[in-house]
Amino acid sequence: MAEFSLALNDDQVELREWVHGFAKDVVRPAAAEWDAREETPWPILQEAARAGLYGFEFLAQSWADPTGLSILLANEELFWGDAGIGMSLAGTHLAVAAIYGSGTPEQVVEWLPQCFGNADDPKVGAFCTTEPQAGSDVAGMKTRARYDEARDEWVLTGQKAYITNGGIANVHVVTAVVDPELGSRGQAAFIVPPRTKGLESTHKLRKLGLRASHTADVFLDEVRVPGSCLLGGKEKLDDRLARAHEGRASTGQAAMRTFELTRPAVAAQAIGIARAAYEYSLDYAKDRVAFGRPIIENQAIAFALADMRTEIDAARLLVWRAAWMGRSNQPFDAAEGSMSKLKASEVAVEVTGKAVQILGGAGFVTDHPVERWYRDAKIYTIFEGTSEIQRLVIARAISGVRIS
């Protein structure tokens, strides 16, 4: 019987150190500038692509880790560097997860590389599912897709909201309703190729945090895409819709499958932010002198830091467990995936708040990065399933009751 161990293997240690080095030397020094500019840091994306850190090959190698940990290690270190720049690099992964999770092998081969571009001309991808009236309530989606059989084209019409890389992406993946009678079971996902007419984004949204990451609403006005752009193909869709109409079990709907693939990785991002804030405030507490001694010698400060470290490590273990379970095809009987996202996001908000408090007035000004981490952390309790939705999923799983 294999001995139980939480030790990382040599490849994982090397990966973590490599990404940390890039985050320390390239990302963190540029973080304040791009946060203030509120622009996509294309030069950083290009540098990451040239280093081999941004691209389909890197993502594929990370996902190939049978333990499920490599992508988590990379995300934690990258977002330790900066969450806004990190999201500019990782935002494409949602579109990639949708294509990989629902697409045919031919679609994967054709479209995944186009999400990233190349080192000389990097691109980004966008996953478009949230709408003004349909965020956590995915079943409330209004965007429609109708099939034009004569031309073998799908026609998309609707509006998407708060889309990472919306409008600037080379490839947009759009979820839409194809059969309104079936609610969320009547949805499908579509690839919108580059320069497709009818897809527009009027302006970039200004945000509390993650300011270096582009977020915008996306409008689809009779957007026509080839029939081959339906993820999974029409035969598979028709079969799924028929099963749903007959009341038989289906494989689920496109948006939720994508989120299931990405939640542990997103949770690792939150841990990276929390760890950055903890480490910075620990160093500050050792150096800052008040009343004749370093403030770390005060129990109030020391105990706060002890709690911060404990919560970060606890959250990381939940995230690692969820990733391992997912990769090992272990059932999430207690919604362990949602547990990991819930815990990591709540810890990020709590830890960054304590970091600001430990720095006092210094924590409230932009001379120190903790105020930026504090702003960046909040979104993790909102996107890819709010904390309330995660609790709902967990409660349903552990009780077997359809709680609403």
Please state whether beta strands 125-128 and 171-177 pair in parallel, antiparallel, or not at all (unpaired).
parallel
Alpha-carbon span 296 to 69, nearest angstrom: 33
Q: Which residues make Cβ contacts (< 8 Å) with residue 109, sequence separation at least 6?
A: none
Q: Which residues make Cβ contacts (< 8 Å) with residue 284, sequence separation at least 6?
A: 358, 359, 362, 368
User: How many Å from the N-terminal Cα to the C-terminal Cα in the chain?
Assistant: 44
Catalytic residue list contains 297 = no
Instruction: Report which secondary-structure segment, H or E, holds 250.
Output: none
Alpha-carbon span 38 to 208, nearest angstrom: 11
Instruction: Report which secondary-structure segment, H or E, holds 288.
Output: none
What's the Cα-to-Cα distance from 284 to each of 30, 118, 289, 295, 360, rounded to whole Å?
21, 40, 9, 9, 11
What tokens appear for 224 in the block? Answer: 């026509």
Indicate the burial class of 290 (C-beta count within 10 angstroms; 0-12, 13-18, 19 or more): exposed
Q: Of 170, 239, 234, 229, which Cα lies nearest the Cα of 199?
A: 170
Count the neighbouring beta carbons within 10 Å of the beta carbon of residue 20: 18
Cα angle vertex 304, ends 303, 310, to 5°?
85
Q: Which of 77, 106, 384, 388 is catalytic?
A: 384
The residue to which tokens 């004749």 are assigned: 292
What's the Cα-to-Cα distance from 43 to each of 24, 38, 210, 267, 288, rounded to whole Å?
16, 14, 17, 26, 36
Alpha-carbon span 129 to 237, nearest angstrom: 18
What tokens appear for 383 in the block? Answer: 């996107």
Q: Of 267, 256, 288, which Cα lies nearest the Cα of 355?
A: 288
The residue to which tokens 């990258």 are assigned: 78
What tokens appear for 302 in the block? Answer: 């020391």
What residues are annotated to the active site? Answer: 384
